[in-house]
Each structure stands twice: as C-alpha cells, then as structure tokens.
Amino acid sequence: MTNQTTFLDRLFDAGLLIDTGVDGLYGRSGQFEDVISAFERLIDRFGGADGAEAIRFPPGMNRAYFETSGYMKSFPQLAGTVHSFCGNELDHMSLLKCMDADEDWSKEQKITDIVLTPAACYPLYPTIAKRGAIAAKGALFDLQSYCFRHEPSKDPARQQLFRMREYVCMGTQDHVTEFRQTWMDRGLKMMEAVGLAVEIDVANDPFFGRAGKMLANNQRDQNLKFELLIPITSTSNPTACMSFNYHQDAFGAKWGLNLEDGSVAHTACVGFGLERIALALFHHHGLDVNTWPEPVRKALWG
C-alpha cells in the first residue's frame, strides 16, 4: 500500500474523514472541522489588523465570469460545470428509462449559469471592477470558499472539493508585492507556531497541454508563484499548503480594475489550503488532538 492510501485509511478509521465512495470527496468529523476553525482563528490573529474587507461567495460562480476569466484556456482538465435537467415530460420519461437500464442519462442535462468555483478569488475581480476605481491606497479582501478541481486521487491531500482561505490585494506593483512578501513571512511564523517544518519554493500552476508547459516555465522564471510546502504523504514531494501569487496587471487588465489615477491595478493573492493544513497537523502531531504538543494546542486553542 502506498503512503497516501495508508494515511487515507487511517483518517477513515479514526473517523476524521468520512468515505463517500468518491476519491477526493470526503465528509469531515467535528474534530477535523474544529482544527480548521482553530487554524482560521490563527489566520485572523495574523491578518486581522490589516482591515481586509471580508466577503464570502458560495462555491459556485457566474459562468459568464468564469468564461471571461480564461480558466478553460489554462485548466480545462480541472473545471467543474453545473448541469441540470431542462427537458419536457417526454424527455423526463426517457431519462428515467435510461437510468433504469443503467445507460447514459445525461443527454438532457444542459449547462446552467453556474460553474463550480475553481479558486476562492475568481468571483472577486469582476465584483470589485463593478464598484469603480480602487482607492490610491489599494484594496484588501478576505475570502473563504469551497473550491472544486477535478483531480480524483487517493492522496487525502488532493481533494476535489476543498476550502481555500484567501487574502487578495489590489494596488500598485510595490503595494501588492509587499503584501505577498508579508504573507510569506507570516506563513513561516504561523507554521512554526503550530510545530510544522516547512519550506517555501517557487512553483507553477498545472497549465494544460504543451502550450501550458511554456506558461508554467514563464511563471517560474518570473517568480510569480511561490508555495509553502509541508511533507504530508511524501517527504520527497511535499504538499503545497499555502500559495503566494502575483498576477502582475493581468487580472487588472482583464477585468478593468483601475486605480484612481487611471493606471491598471496589479493584484496578488495568498491562499491557505485549509484541509491540507489540517492534514499536515494530524500527520505530524497524531490523529488525537489531545496528545498534540502543548505549544501547538496553545497556538490553536489558546
């Protein structure tokens, strides 16, 4: 058995994750959720004084925004679209017949106006663009959303529906790159506080296809993405538990995000993978939170 399957089975046996029959789609116990809530409070302690505007979007976003975002150009393999039955009574009868016969019943399922949110910040940019120019001092947002990525796996650290907490900063190049650096420093401090050994490394997004390789190389060459890595199911291939992304003015230009002086806003976002952080804690400190080292418990629960 691989390390991934072993850890997944241990999490199931301990009741921390609950098997749904689909790889990467799990229920979570109250204990698991309590660790996530405690870690989110730690995030609040580090970031709360910055005065970010909190916004919570549902885990589905406007399909028109999703299309404009260009996600299907870069990551078609990860996207999840919501389809619903839109037929008449005859179509309904044929659908039920197909289901009974174990045949494909999805023919009358039509795409709806909703797409599953791929990253917590995607719905934000068009929303803020609608408000008009961004103040010269910049803008800061605090987001949390379930995100969907179609990548079924036995690795408990790779889930199809998971929560991402994000801070998103909009402003000048200097402002948003300083924001990103601040969170890299804070990320290291936070993980130290909860007893996790980490490293930060340059990274790239999983762009699709051959053209995607070039995009990934370009992203690395320009240091646009860093990840905070923690070994969970592999020491040689540690898991990204936070990411620090600088989009230059790409989202600003795409969505018409301008600063008061008319210049195009630069943007950066910092994401915490909440399930991954909880899994890292359970992996390193044990499946019973009562036996976690006292300083770790104190950092999380006070």
Binding footprint of ligand 5GP on the chain (CB under 6 A): 119, 149, 151, 157-159, 162, 164, 227, 240-243, 271, 273, 275-276
Q: What number of chain residues touch Zn ion (CB under 5 A)?
A: 3
Contact of 300 with 35, CB cutoff 8 Å? yes
**Element (H or E) spanning 52, and its range?**
none
Rounded to whole angstroms, how far apart are CA atoms 228 and 238? 9
Residue 121 touching Zn ion (CB under 5 A): yes
Q: What tokens does 182 get? A: 């601040």
Among Zn ion, ligand 5GP, none, the one that 175 touches (CB under a kind-dependent 5 to 8 A) is none
Among ligand 5GP, Zn ion, none, the one that 178 touches (CB under a kind-dependent 5 to 8 A) is none
Among Zn ion, ligand 5GP, none, the one that 269 touches (CB under a kind-dependent 5 to 8 A) is Zn ion
Closest to ligand 5GP by CB, 61 vs 242, is 242
Rounded to whole angstroms, how far apart are CA atoms 230 and 226? 13
Task: Find the binder of Zn ion among 269, 274, 277, 280 (CB under 5 A).
Answer: 269
Find the angle CA(211)-CA(216)-CA(217) to the nearest 5 degrees: 100
Closest distance between ligand 5GP and the C-beta of residue 49, in Å? 23
Closest to ligand 5GP by CB, 57 vs 162, is 162
> Of 2-10, 83-91, 197-205, 261-269, which part binds Zn ion (CB under 5 A)?
261-269
Closest distance between Zn ion and the C-beta of residue 137, in Å? 21
Packing angle between helix 30-47 and helix 294-301, nearest 10 degrees? 70
> Of 6-14, 57-65, 148-156, 262-270, which part binds Zn ion (CB under 5 A)?
262-270
Which conformational region is residue 56 in: left (phi greater than 0), alpha (psi within -120 to 50 degrees), or beta?
beta
Among ligand 5GP, Zn ion, none, the one that 121 touches (CB under a kind-dependent 5 to 8 A) is Zn ion
Rounded to whole angstroms, how far apart are CA atoms 274 and 27? 14
Q: Whose CA is closest to 122, among 212, 62, 210?
A: 62
Closest to ligand 5GP by CB, 240 vs 287, is 240
Closest distance between Zn ion and the C-beta of residue 121, in Å? 3
Residues 6+ apart with CB under 8 A from 272: 39, 43, 164, 165, 166, 241, 242
Q: Which residues bind Zn ion (CB under 5 A)?
A: 119, 121, 269
